[in-house]
Structure 1
């Protein structure tokens, strides 16, 4: 019985998705019947009509693989007879991206028309569109590869005015080129329905993007106040979806980047890839996949990565138009993961399943349009993704709130459980205190009895103690004399060691130290680096890249690594010894000699003492002299300061690129 109940939520979700899909398909079938317009291949308009859907039976198509045919060429009888009716084509799409397609419309105006008629092409991503009026006027050449200014009407879709004449039959040609598969869907409208359509369409789209903006601001504020990363991931997902819609419906090219068609092509190709990345980035954390399904989560990440690679290859090199198939597998895996997470007890996953069930239906309609199946194509199906996404945004925003509320409730329950445990602990502690008090009473009683026995024994021992005390006094006097002698000897040793150190230091300061004696103070490279590091960071460590004050030891001796940005700074970085080419012990001694002789120390003598080339000694002497000069002009200069302060000069050095490159090479 327990096993059957565990599958009930999944069955209910499946039935709900099936009923939703069936209802949506039924409504679409009812709304998708095309409007009849007249005889076989001629569109007939009259004053009683206001708009007309261009059914495939009322236009003819000629494919030009070479792209070199002109209007005069396609009007030739031989070419004219090659046009095929749209309803007789294998598919009503432009099957070969990059090829030119000539679209022929024959329209007859019956009676005197009171309004102007316009032809609207639904696909805003046609790369090149050339409209040839029947009256022989100059053609209108535009397309998504050209700026919006090339269109006579600054509209997201391609809109052309038809100069129809009363009781005349006119033939219009359009030359279409697209880099992806698309349909020939279009509609004829008069001025008044067109204006009403503009108001309705832009009003709905404005409301749609307004909802998206509100949700972005709302979830961003929640992230800033709460700090929950899921809200930030959701904001990125909504922004990428907005970019997809702006590129898909053409509003982005109309309002945001009308003068940059190349940018429009880049966004059209790249926004779906960004959508896949942000969706997987958000959905995995919302469903807690790394914690609940760790092995499956690794598979999802791998599939998403391979799908992104496939989409990039298709967008950059293949241009097959079938890139949308790369979305099905990662989306399907994430939806399956949501079902499993729901079965394992995460209640908010049901909102995820509900929201993306509607999105999956709208994506199905989009795929049908991409495949050239226009049976279900109408206003409801074209904008079904917008409606589904608004519902998804609202539902998932509510789901995020429910998830945070569930986490809060779980935290409160954990706190209540902890409070109960603390109360039990206090009760046990009270019982323990009572037991200790009883033990103390027993202890006091026992002590009283023992005191009587001890008093008796004490009288017996007092007499013996008097004898021992007399002997102890004699021993104490002797120990006192020995202690005084030991203290005097220890004091004398301490004074001798201090005097010896002071003598060495005095000799260093009085220029009487040779290199051998100097090496006893700084015996090796580690001692020099240790002294330099302590001198350099005497007032505390602060990262030069980010200003952080916490550090750990680097791989190089006495180097320090920032715990925030991982920047490593060695002891010699930004000092006079940075990038020094000989032993640091010799460098210390050279600085000591030059400083104590106030710069009056020849490079020949320095070369002889340090066993280095004179040119190396001269170059290093110049650096030390320049550092001494800058030090004397420093605001914090003290005439009594030691020679080691010169080591911290870093004006003449450049910042180190890596600690590994800063080595001390003994010449």
Structure 2
């Protein structure tokens, strides 16, 4: 839509009255304008009476939203009604990025002296080397002069013109540069400090944060025009590098990379990185689409940019909450960044009515954003230090416990070595004494050999008689009177004696581990044996008739003993009373003995009761 602010029969130029004030703003609304459709008019033609009626009053600070390819002529008629002759006046334009700005100053002979400068010209072509366009009016009290300006622009900027006294101009300029110097100085200090942290800690978090600070500095230099003044004053071709969408893209990409690394240090999640890269890709696509292939409205562009940034931000906020990290400084810093993006389109969105506040509002917001992100990093460092301290304490405790166990093991090994050494020395001493005894015994054996030969003769003589008497002796042994329980207890008084007898009986030939087959053992509790290879412990009752026995083993021994006697035949009731056991218990064990006899085909006449003790019944 083309907005024209027309005034029919405009006539002569309006006159702006200077009184006793030191500063006038919004003087754009007291000026007139004219569009040069062919861009071929000169000051002589424009200032002539023929064109006087073609100027129209300006009623809107943007003057026109279209005619970006045409020169716009501005006319400003000023009357100095101030009574102070010591005051001199300056005209200032805040639109530092106007492509071409030509000021026409009226000379005494009626001609106009031109001064052309702008964003497309070297910086030092300006009369006053200031980031804004400033011109001395040379307007004495009582004088009225008409000034002309020719403007060429490439976007519909809002014009912000001021009239200031010399004192006010100097004071304003010094304060402005002083505050900007503090602003950039603090950002540079934080930047240098983070570069130092990158060098010392080798952490990409500080590298990304340094990139974010550098992007903010670049954004600010492009916004207030200092890059043109101080970095490349003679190379205006570099000015597009500080164009708003480029610097905004740098700030957004740097923030997304920093935010991803910041969150990942608290709670590592691959999805966060993927969403960050996706958001960066979408922002780059949006940047190249704008004004290159399609036109995107400024408000829509801002909304899409904020939406893209909120994708990884929402994921990061969820990860922080999941890790129970409540970083308010990080949250508010992100909010400041969104304000920066919104304010970067101050042409479209004016947060404040005052043009100065609206333009410079972004600087304290950026400063606050950097400070809040710095606080977030400091809080993270504190958190990581606490985590490191806690892990170090746990590691120290683990090392202390490890050293204690190591010392304890070493002491045990030393004791074992000492005991083994003593044992070997004792064995060596015993072997020496045994060797002497063997030598002595060898001599005795030689003497006994003669005696044995003599005894053999005697035995051969009695052999026939022994064969005759064997049958009778066997019968007598089988019918030998049995021991009662009290007498039997004198032989096997307790569990320990029974287990000792069973252990000697079970392993009278050799020991062999049932688990690994190893044949070396160490004595265990209850006369059991523990394998020296796999540490398996075997009880004397395992795989014997007494396996999983539920009543005292000495009583079971007596039942087994009676089972092998022919001359003793106790009823279950009698056996239950003698042993103080339940009748069913006695019956069950006697039944188990019967099964064992059947399994090994036991002969009571020829085999002892102890042979049944080693019979193992399945189940």
TM-score (normalised: structure 2): 0.58
Aligned to 1:301: 277
Contact kept? 1:247, 1:268, Cα under 8 Å: yes
Shift of 1:187: 1.2
Measure the CA separation in 2 of the matches of 1:111 and 1:121: 22
Aligned to 1:236: 211
Aligned to 2:356: 379
Aligned to 1:344: 322
Shift of 1:147: 0.6
Is 1:245 the equivalent of 2:223?
no
Shift of 1:84: 4.5
Shift of 1:219: 1.9
Measure the CA separation in 2 of the matches of 1:334 and 1:79: 58
SS state at 1:182 partner: coil
Shift of 1:234: 1.9
Is 1:219 the equivalent of 2:194?
yes
Is 1:109 the equivalent of 2:84?
no
Give the unaligned 5+ runs of structure 1. Answer: 1-39, 464-667
Aligned to 1:83: 56
Aligned length: 419
In 2 relative to 1, CA 256–326 (structure 1 residues): closer, same or farther, beyond 3 Å? farther
Contact kept? 1:62, 1:84, Cα under 8 Å: no
Aligned to 2:369: 392
Measure the CA separation in 1 of the matches of 2:106 and 2:426: 130
Give the unaligned 5+ runs of structure 2. Answer: 1-12, 443-619
Contact kept? 2:198, 2:204, Cα under 8 Å: yes
Q: How does 1:9-20 map to 2 (within 5 A)?
A: none
- The answer to which structure, 1 or 2, has the higher relative contact order (CA under 8 A, 6+ apart) is 1
Shift of 1:443: 7.2
In 2 relative to 1, CA 94–156 (structure 1 residues): closer, same or farther, beyond 3 Å? farther
Q: Deviations over 1:488-532 (max 9, x none)?
A: xxxxxxxxxxxxxxxxxxxxxxxxxxxxxxxxxxxxxxxxxxxxx
Instruction: Pick the structure with greater CA Rg.
Output: 2
In 2 relative to 1, CA 391–375 (structure 1 residues): closer, same or farther, beyond 3 Å? closer
Aligned with 1:202 (options 177, 196, 199): 177
Measure the CA separation in 2 of the matches of 1:434 and 1:238: 61
Aligned to 2:589: none
Measure the CA separation in 2 of the matches of 1:341 and 1:213: 31
Shift of 1:170: 4.0
Contact kept? 1:230, 1:286, Cα under 8 Å: yes
In 2 relative to 1, CA 360–320 (structure 1 residues): closer, same or farther, beyond 3 Å? closer
Shift of 1:386: 1.7
SS state at 2:385 partner: helix
Shift of 1:401: 3.1
Q: Deviations over 1:603-662 (max 9, x none)?
A: xxxxxxxxxxxxxxxxxxxxxxxxxxxxxxxxxxxxxxxxxxxxxxxxxxxxxxxxxxxx
Q: How does 1:118-157 map to 2 (within 5 A)?
A: 118-133=90-105, 136-157=111-132
Aligned with 1:354 (options 332, 343, 355): 332
TM-score (normalised: structure 1): 0.54
CA RMSD of aligned residues (A): 4.0
In 2 relative to 1, CA 375–417 (structure 1 residues): closer, same or farther, beyond 3 Å? closer
Aligned to 2:26: 54
Q: Deviations over 1:278-320 (max 9, x none)?
A: 3322222122279544324312212212312432454767797
Contact kept? 2:22, 2:165, Cα under 8 Å: yes
Contact kept? 1:93, 1:372, Cα under 8 Å: no
In 2 relative to 1, CA 290–426 (structure 1 residues): closer, same or farther, beyond 3 Å? closer
Aligned with 1:329 (options 289, 301, 307): 307
